[in-house]
Amino acid sequence: MIEIRPIQLHETEEARLVIFKSAYEVFREGSTLEESIATYSAKGALKDLDDIQKNYFENGGTFLVTCQDGKIIGTGAIRYLEEGVCELKRMWLLTEFHRQGLGYRMIQELFTIARTRGYKLMRLLTDFEVQTRAVEFYKQLGFYEIPRYEGDDPEDLAMEIRL
């Protein structure tokens, strides 16, 4: 059975591993998953997951997980960015679950939560060179390109959607 629900704090490490596994499948940086995790952990990647309560739940947002039979297979979150604007973060799904409508279900749930909290716009940053499937997914949902709003990675593409 598939369910989408708020993460429980004791599930943070399981969610972090799902994100690392998913990103490894996309970016293929490092010769092994373990090497990739070590490299990105040393750089402080996913530091926001160190305190999900503060960075998401207490920051005008939420952090959801997609579970199959109690096991996390995907993640998605929103957080406050500025007045009336939230940011989509940590949208990842294990590769073997792609093309089953689960990403669509997650984003629809996040749209509902964002609207309920009074957000008018949702923004995101993604790597447009490597994450071409994600970019196409977001465009199909109605996201459009905007000038980058933060970060210094020239491969980041900024997008937003009116809620």
- pLDDT, tens digit, for every residue of 108-142? 999 999 999 999 999 999 887 777 888 999 999 99
Flag whether the pTM goes above 0.95: no
Distances (CA, A) of 125 to 38, 100, 143: 23, 24, 11
Counting residues of the chain whose pLDDT is more than 70, the rounded percentage is 94
Gap between the Cα atoms of 11 and 125, Å rounded = 25
Q: How many other C-beta atoms are found inside a 10 Å radius of the C-beta of residue 163?
A: 18
Instruction: Indicate whether 150 pLDDT > 80.
Output: no
**Mind listing the pLDDT tens digit for each residue in 69-113?**
999 999 999 999 999 999 999 999 998 999 999 999 999 999 999
Residue 152: pLDDT band by 50, 70, 90 thresholds?
A: low
In order of their start, the domains of the chain are 2-123 (3.40.630.30)
Mean pLDDT (the chain) is: 89
